[in-house]
Amino acid sequence: MPPYLLGLRLGGRRVLVVGGGRVAQRRVPALLAAGADVVLVAPEITPSLEDLVTPSAPSAGKAAAGTLTWERRPYRKGDCRDAWLVQAVSDDAKVNAAVAAEAEAARVWCVRADDADASPAWTPASGRVGETTVGVLAGGDPRRAAGIRDAVVDGLRDATLEARHSRHKPVGVALVGGGPGDPGLITVRGRQLLAQADVVVTDRLAPRELLDELPADVEVIDAAKIPYGRTVTQERINDYLVEHVRQGRFVVRLKGGDPFVFGRGAEEVLHCARHGIPVTVVPGITSAVAVPSAAGIPVTHRGVSQEFHVVSAHVAPDDPASTVDWPGLGRSQGTLVLLMAVERVTLIAEALMRYGRSPDTPVAVVQEGTLPGQRALTATLGTVADEMSAAGVRPPAIVVVGDVVNVAREIDMIRADLGRDP
């Protein structure tokens, strides 16, 4: 006989959990997230569960979630009193049977973790995406249920199961950071909103492969700004956003990296705010950190660098329009991550050496980071300009200056040594 699947609203209701091991460690966080007042009965519990125990004087920040009280003792008859739900998850089958029997006598639903056939209730494999909760039962087979749950959740996350024109369709503009280039690195929320767009205004550095997944009726506006080439002005981009929203269309502004890291995203939000248009900002993975990581370069490393500076080098150090403290960066020992620096690397290297950086400072240059054409070269501050020229490096590329480059070299050397035949 199939079970009856039900969504329990547990806010402020007492839930008893007997047992403090790995099963409880999985179940308790979900109960707390549902707002339950959980009483955990067990002589010992895992460190993760102990960390969840509510202090005797709960802070205001915990009021919206449930509470967890730990009674450090074995189960005893009467513990099920006043409970709305019971979870028998101890390692002792006799204890679980006794808990289930007491709950049954009190007409309280009990989930028995060690024996699905003897359990009056089952916990579905569940997952949550936005406001949608998925619960799957597969005849008592938890592995199969989890596999189906994962497939459904993945479909909701990448919007392949989401109707574009649902009653909850977004309005206004979504300013979406697309990440450093690899389409797999866009956030889940960004991908969901992209799948619901009527209009997509896209940058040159945004993950263009995602556009192939859009329905044919979605209008795609190319707002590329090509260095030393064709450019759509920022003012025109701003106008696109307002024009299409006023036509009743949901607009996604798809940008590379993070929209608020040298992406002029705040300018677009300000323009929309002035015209009364709501904007949802979806952060993206900035290339300033992601691209060095993709090349194996940490921007910080214990004992090497405790700071890193992200610098827009679209104007030269001696340009009056530059607001960068190049003397300070020259004196600093931290990592420098330079964006838009390819055309001005000679002047940048000269400035850093003039203000104190050694010509022997390691430098790495990563072109087309996270994309199939990714390639990297290493040099020093004194040689990087010549080596970039000889290698034909072109934008987009990120320049990393600092001793963290040697950490990546050490990793490569260790891997090479391990790969050699003895």
Closest CA to 85 of 120, 56, 116, 42: 120
Known catalytic residue at 421: no
Cross-strand bridge partners of residue 222:
202
The whole-angstrom separation of Cα 277 and Cα 125 is 40
Cα 75–Cα 77–Cα 82 angle in degrees, nearest 5: 95
The whole-angstrom separation of Cα 179 and Cα 201 is 15
CB atoms within 10 A of CB 157: 18
Burial class (CB in 10 A: 0-12, 13-18, 19+), 215: exposed
Cα 336–Cα 341–Cα 346 angle in degrees, nearest 5: 95
325 three-state secondary structure? coil
**91, 92, 150, 225: which is the annotated catalytic residue?**
225
205 three-state secondary structure? coil
Closest CA to 294 of 364, 351, 395: 364
Tokens found for residue 86: 């019971």
**182, 198, 203, 258: which is the annotated catalytic residue?**
203
Where do we find the tokens 């964006």? 339
Known catalytic residue at 94: no
Helix (H) / strand (E) element for 239: namely helix 234-246
Transcribe 337-369 into DSSP letters: EEES-GGGHHHHHHHHHHTT--TT-EEEEEEST
Tokens found for residue 216: 């044919």
Provide the annotated active-site residues. 203, 225
